[in-house]
Amino acid sequence: MNDRVLTHPQLASEPGYFSKSAAKVAVIPAHAGIQFVGQIASTNNSMHSLDSRRSLPPNGVVGGGNDGVTGRGQDVHHLSPATSPLAALARRIVLGRLRGLTQGSLLIEEVGAVHHFGAGLPEARVSVMNPDFWPRVAFGGSVGAGESYMAGDWHSDDLSGLLRLLLRNREVVDGMETGLARLSAPLRWLAHRRNRNTRAGSRRNIAAHYDLGNDFYRLWLDETLMYSSAVFERPEMTLAEASTAKLERICRKLGLGPHHHVLEIGTGWGGFALHAAGRHGCRVTTATLSRQQYELARERVAAAGLTDRVEVLLTDYRDLTGRFDHLVSIEMVEAVGAANLDTYFRQCARLLKPDGAMLLQAITIADQRYQAALGEVDFIQKHIFPGGFLPSVTALASSLTRASDLRAVHLEDIGPHYGETLARWRENFLGAVDAVRALGYPESFVRMWLFYFAYCEAGFRERDLGTVQMLLAKPGWRGAPVLGRLPDVAGC
């Protein structure tokens, strides 16, 4: 089989940021059928390189640290001082910002110096391995810090703990995005604008993340292949049990039964469709834009003997037709884009029968930060989910009010469960890191995903991010209340 070429924006060159001529190629073995092309190694501009030479060891762990990269066993003599004038200037800027730390304490070590900020708990530690760390953070803010981590410029023995500490000092994080860091923001915004969620743009954006390869996702997701927040009804639950509990919670909220025909927008790998049809007997029509998800979901449906109950479509939600009893959309709305939110809810309402209901699970940002976030491009948008955005609860409610006749009848925040879900994914990923490498992914890709897991885990554990399940109903819906039916009231 000939290798196929997959140019991926997570590591591909971008105007004004990476040196295009210096891009190098990592080839996934021919049996995987994919060739991965991207910016994975050093460039002539040391400030903007993603240097894969500073790599993870074979087992992914050095010194026992829980970020999978390094720990307190790191030899400080291997650290690098800020030697160039640019690095020295950037170092002063970054250290100056960190003096504003008021909650917890942060230790930064480099050759010849140890810097301590704040006091008390929680504690976090950073080891600067390469002086490129300083200009990347000074000129790139939080995005630069993530890219510097990808390059191996720095390590922490508790990456999620470090990011939680920084979120508790929000004014320090926000300060990192000002000053010189503003110089790179317009370039990120222009690049992000190319990822608008038109029909063609949505296909590209979905492929960029979800078509990395089913073999890759199978390495660290549980057997349900659910790539969304689980619900840990008991702390001792396995990830698969918690994923199933989430699916069952959705089915119970909608009161699904054999007489229902359910539309799912965002198939994933078929986890919800298999659960709803297999356990509740309903018919499910499910739609995705990911070719690889589509193919594997169809295989799983056939293997489960549910082809008479489940139909998998490869299509855009905007092109769906028909009328359905209920609608489910699990963490798909983040791929819609703010500009298309009204279109999304208008279409959902059209696809529901007059007495139908919709269960929406969505990752959310605080209402107070929503407008500012619309004008920013963070690490996740640049490197993980091109075209993605996070709505707030108010933005969701306002949009469905403007664009549809749907009403919110129940809301539950399961955000803390996402923090635990991400911690389990990261643990699984580290346990399979050799297999990830065997698929041909470079070290910068491995480190990018470790940063992604920790970045998001910190956001959910610190309640900087939320995840809501919203039950939205058409005017004719008369379903039983989620918490059980109260005694009937005369006239109702």
- Using CA atoms of 139, 143, 145, 146 in order, give the dihedral in degrees to the nearest 10: -150
Distance CA 407, CA 334 (A): 20
CA pair distance 421, 436, nearest whole angstrom: 20
CA atoms within 13 A on the CB side of 94: 26
Q: Amino acid identity, residue 310? A: V
CA 487 to chain centre: 43
User: Measured between alpha carbons, how far is residue 278 from residues 225, 265, 285 in Å?
Assistant: 16, 18, 14
CB 358 within 8 A of CB 328: yes
Confirm whether 456 is a catalytic residue. yes
158 half-sphere exposure, CB direction, 13 A CA radius: 12
Closest by Cα among 102, 128, 129 to 117: 102
What are the angstrom distances between the C-alpha of 112 and each of 82, 96, 468?
10, 18, 47
* Complete edge-to-edge strand list for the sheet that includes strand 35-38: 5-7, 35-38, 24-26
Task: Write out the E strands in 197-291.
Answer: 261-265, 283-288
Annotated catalytic residue: which of 251, 282, 348, 456? 456
All residues at 6 or more sequence positions from 325 whose CB lies less than 8 Å from its CB, including other chains:
259, 260, 261, 262, 352, 353, 356
Q: What's the CA gap between 125 and 73, in Å, rounded?
A: 12
Which one-letter amino acid corresponds to residue 241?
E
Strand order, beta sheet including 154-155 = 113-119, 104-110, 123-128, 154-155
Q: Residue 421 has which token pair?
A: 């879900």
Residue 243 — φ and ψ, nearest 5°? -65, -40
Q: What residues are annotated to the active site?
A: 456
